[in-house]
């Protein structure tokens, strides 16, 4: 069974390369590889003594073979890719230091749109922890920026929590599971 699937995957990759060439495009040779992934990957690799299935990053998510807690069935776990999250946090940190002396309402509105956009894109099932971590880090960076404004009165965490609750949208999962979204009944 494994050999047939591997052969089919190699044929598919060859066809994909040909199709890309037709439009003057090419797959990156270092970023394109075949990996064992899917509902039987964990059992097959365990039987061969190879450990857990590999993960891969695609469209800002790390895709992982996992099991649902409700019934133990296979599911694809998607988490925000670490590179994507750290890059976005660094961008926000630099921009916050630039906007440090703007009014708090203006900063809050901008940060709310940043967090809202991140949550709307990355708000998939199995990714709630990353969303909460992102919102928390943004709040920490904002607190640091407000403390560096040079005013004598320090910004306390009590006040900061009120600002965060007012301006930053909650970190919620916005997208349903694909089967629920498409109305598939099996």
Q: How much is the average pLDDT of 17-33?
A: 91
For 148, phi then psi, to 5°, come to -85, 5
What does the block give as tokens for 10? 């190699």
- Cβ atoms of residues 94 and 47 within 8 Å: no
Q: How much is the average pLDDT of 127-135?
A: 97
Residue 175 has pLDDT above 70, yes or no: yes
42: confidence class by pLDDT, cuts 50, 70, 90:
confident
* DSSP-derived pairing of the beta strands 61-67 and 74-80: antiparallel
Q: How much is the average pLDDT of 77-93?
A: 96
Percent of the chain with pLDDT over 70: 92
Residue 18 has pLDDT above 80, yes or no: yes
Residue 57's DSSP bridge partners are 62
**Which residues touch 17 (CB under 8 Å, ≥6 apart)?**
26, 27
Residue 180 has pLDDT above 60, yes or no: yes
Residue 45 has pLDDT above 90, yes or no: no
Look at residue 1 in the predicted model and tell me its pLDDT.
43
Task: Identify the weakest region by mean pLDDT among 52-56, 115-119, 141-145.
Answer: 52-56
Q: How much is the average pLDDT of 62-89?
A: 92
Q: How much is the average pLDDT of 139-157?
A: 88
Residue 178 has pLDDT above 60, yes or no: yes
Task: Count Cβ atoms within 10 A of the Cβ of residue 102 and give its class: 0-12 exposed, 13-18 middle, 19 or more buried.
Answer: middle
Residues 95-109 pLDDT 10s? 999 999 999 999 999
Helix runs in the chain, H state only: 2-22, 41-48, 82-98, 104-122, 128-147, 157-167, 178-182
Residue 30 has pLDDT above 80, yes or no: yes
């Amino acid at each position: 069974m494994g050999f047939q699937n591997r052969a089919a995957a190699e044929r598919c990759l060859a066809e994909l390369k040909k199709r890309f060439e037709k439009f003057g495009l090419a797959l990156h040779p270092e970023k394109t590889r075949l990996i064992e992934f899917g509902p039987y990957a964990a059992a097959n690799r365990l039987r061969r003594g190879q450990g857990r299935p590999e993960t891969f990053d695609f469209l800002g998510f790390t895709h992982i073979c996992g099991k649902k807690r409700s019934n133990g069935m296979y599911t694809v776990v998607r988490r925000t890719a670490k590179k994507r999250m750290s890059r976005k946090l660094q961008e926000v940190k630099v921009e916050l230091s630039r906007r440090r002396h703007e009014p708090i309402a203006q900063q809050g509105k901008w940060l709310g749109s940043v967090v809202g956009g991140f949550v709307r894109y990355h708000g998939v099932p199995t990714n709630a922890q990353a969303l909460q971590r992102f919102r928390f880090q943004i709040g920490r960076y904002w607190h640091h920026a407000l403390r560096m404004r040079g005013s004598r009165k320090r910004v306390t965490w009590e006040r900061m929590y009120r600002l965060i609750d007012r301006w930053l949208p909650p970190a919620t999962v916005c997208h349903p599971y694909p089967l629920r979204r498409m109305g598939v009944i099996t």
